[in-house]
Amino acid sequence: MTQIALIRHGSTAWNKEKRSQGQTDNPLDQEGREQAVLLAARLADESWDAIYASDLERASETARIIGDRLGIQEIHLDPRLREMGGGQVEGTTEEERLAKWGADWSTLDLGRELADAGTVRGSAVLEDIVQQHPDGRVIVVSHGAVLRNTLRGLVPELDISVKLSNTSITRIAKNENVWQCELYNCSVHLDSSRES
């Protein structure tokens, strides 16, 4: 059985501005780095074999912070783990989209990557990771939309209606050709920082 912890990257300035990021290569903001440190401390309680990440900076930096804490220096960067391409929508807020394209903007072809394409490429990466790490424990740092679309394909019965939080953990495992989700969108590691 291969176990995988799917991680959404830490927060960015565009997350706070509610701008569509897509494949725009934005860095983490200070809060995003702090979230990654808290996540790394949580993951350090377990043993991990490898870390894979999107090659976009917000995900690769999150992965490096985790790797530094876990003593895993090699981060396997894979462009297939990038966020869904946003086409003309990238860099815009909902308000700007409404002003530019109207209330039905989400039904228009604005060059955005289709959900099924995200499902296909995300699933292919995870199947490759299973081949590389049979019976392994692997961390995968990626992005909210591509992870949810990947889960939609691998675990169709899973409710993915709740968007993934920054640095949330979703645990999946493949056992005898069946994927199961053991934990979805968990970010309890951030609770202690909110209280202080």
Report pLDDT digits (tens) over 62-84.
999 999 999 999 999 999 999 99
189 catalytically annotated: no
Residue 38 belongs to what domain range?
A: 2-195
Residue 61: other Cβ atoms inside 10 A: 20
Q: What is the pLDDT of residue 192?
A: 66
Kindly state the tokens that stand for 96. 């700007």
Which candidate, 160, 158, 129, 156, places its Cα nearest to that of 144? 160
Q: What is the pLDDT of residue 195?
A: 46
| Residue carrying the six token digits 């019976």 | 135
Q: What is the pLDDT of residue 196?
A: 40
Inform me whether the pLDDT recorded for 92 exceeds 90.
Answer: yes
Q: What is the pLDDT of residue 149?
A: 97
Residue-wise pLDDT for 113-158, tens only, equals 999 999 999 999 999 999 999 999 999 999 999 999 999 999 999 9
**What are the DSSP E strand ranges found in the chain?**
2-8, 50-53, 75-77, 137-142, 169-175, 178-186
pTM greater than the 0.85 cutoff = yes
Q: What is the pLDDT of residue 35?
A: 97
- 9, 90, 113, 143: the catalytic one is 9
In the chain, % of residues over pLDDT 90? 95
Residue-wise pLDDT for 159-194, tens only, equals 999 999 999 999 999 988 899 999 999 999 998 655
Q: What is the pLDDT of residue 176?
A: 86
Q: What is the pLDDT of residue 194?
A: 53
- CA 139, CA 145: separation in Å to the nearest integer? 17
- 61, 76, 83, 143: the catalytic one is 83
When divided into structural domains, the chain yields a total of 1
Inform me whether the pLDDT recorded for 37 exceeds 50.
Answer: yes
CATH number of the domain within which 60 lies = 3.40.50.1240
9 catalytically annotated: yes
Q: Are strands 178-186 and 137-142 parallel, antiparallel or unpaired?
A: unpaired
